[in-house]
Amino acid sequence: MTRIRQLDGVHNFRHFHGYDAADGAKVREGLFRSGHQSRASEADRAVFEELGIKVVADLRKRRERDNEPFDWPDHVRVIASEQGNSGEPPHLAFLRKGIHTEEAVRDYMMSAYRRIPMEACNQEVYREAYKALASGEADSGFLVHCAAGKDRTGIFCALILDELGVDHDAIVEDYLLTNKAVNFDEIIPRIQERVRSEDGQPMPAAMMQVFLGVDGDYLEEAFRTMGSTDQYVTEQLGITEAERQALRQRWLA
């Protein structure tokens, strides 16, 4: 099954349905993930319409959304947070000012995966997106994204797949598809130029690929931070047992 779909202006677009899940079921079609859409072409927009996207969970902070906007049609509900919008997003601050060694990049990413699942703004979007998936609002098509579609997005997708009973190794495999889906040769020069224009010191290309890629250790760090899925979704996100059962009933076939 080909999960990755190359679009004109949207990176890392793919689906995360179709996996074997609990009790011999499969994850039902309709779950998609990507990077941001600010460079989407008309053909890309047609793909979103074709796929029936009706609910979008945008994990970017306000500053990111303002810098790279996208206008979804009125019939699409966009879930986003207004919390934590002051200052520069941590990943951009690190990219622009950080000490760019492989060890520093790895240390930053490990710390990010401890921070992301506990940030109030991310939890708000995770909570509302989970509820939309459980309620039936997103039955026709659901898309979750952040800037690159790999970290904030990757944790949420892993959480949902875990809730649906997908094997942990398959969850990690899905997460690692970013390393195949992203055209690093295309996006690295553009990001380097953006950093230069903001008076930053861009990373060398090889180091940038480490920063823009993913590693299974990062996701495992997020799971360690969240603790058990039961604990995280009920205590941190406030999801009820009825909503958890509804998620499984709607997305397992």
Q: Are 51 and 37 in contact (CB under 8 A)?
A: no
Q: Which of 196, 212, 195, 203 is nearest to 148 (CA)?
A: 212
- pLDDT, averaged across the chain: 93
Whether residue 1 is predicted with pLDDT greater than 70 in this model: the reply is no
Whether residue 5 is predicted with pLDDT greater than 60 in this model: the reply is yes
Tokens of 22: 């609990």
What pLDDT does residue 176 have?
98
Percent of the chain with pLDDT over 70: 96
The tally of CA atoms less than 13 A away on the side-chain side of residue 169 is 0
CB proximity list for 131: less than 8 A, separation 6 or greater? 239, 243
What pLDDT does residue 98 have?
62
In the chain, how long is the greatest CA-to-CA distance? 54
Report pLDDT digits (tens) over 78-100: 999 999 776 677 877 787 776 67
Confidence of residue 20 (pLDDT cuts 50, 70, 90): very high
What pLDDT does residue 13 have?
98
Note the Cα 46 to chain centre separation in Å. 21
Amino acid at 172: V
Report pLDDT digits (tens) over 98-147: 667 888 889 999 999 999 999 999 999 999 999 999 999 999 999 999 99
β-strands 77-79, 55-58: how paired? Answer: parallel
Report pLDDT digits (tens) over 184-233: 888 888 888 877 776 667 778 888 888 899 999 999 999 999 999 999 99
Q: Are 3 and 16 in contact (CB under 8 A)?
A: yes
The tally of CA atoms less than 13 A away on the side-chain side of residue 248 is 16
Query: Cα separation of 60 and 226, whole Å?
Result: 20
CB proximity list for 122: less than 8 A, separation 6 or greater? 59, 81, 116, 152, 155
Report pLDDT digits (tens) over 26-59: 999 999 999 999 999 999 999 999 999 999 999 9
- Residue at token pair 């989407």: 40
Whether residue 23 is predicted with pLDDT greater than 90 in this model: the reply is no
Whether residue 67 is predicted with pLDDT greater than 80 in this model: the reply is yes
What pLDDT does residue 199 have?
63
Domains along the chain with CATH numbers: 14-251 (3.90.190.10)
Q: Are 137 and 243 in contact (CB under 8 A)?
A: no
Confidence of residue 165 (pLDDT cuts 50, 70, 90): very high
What pLDDT does residue 239 have?
98
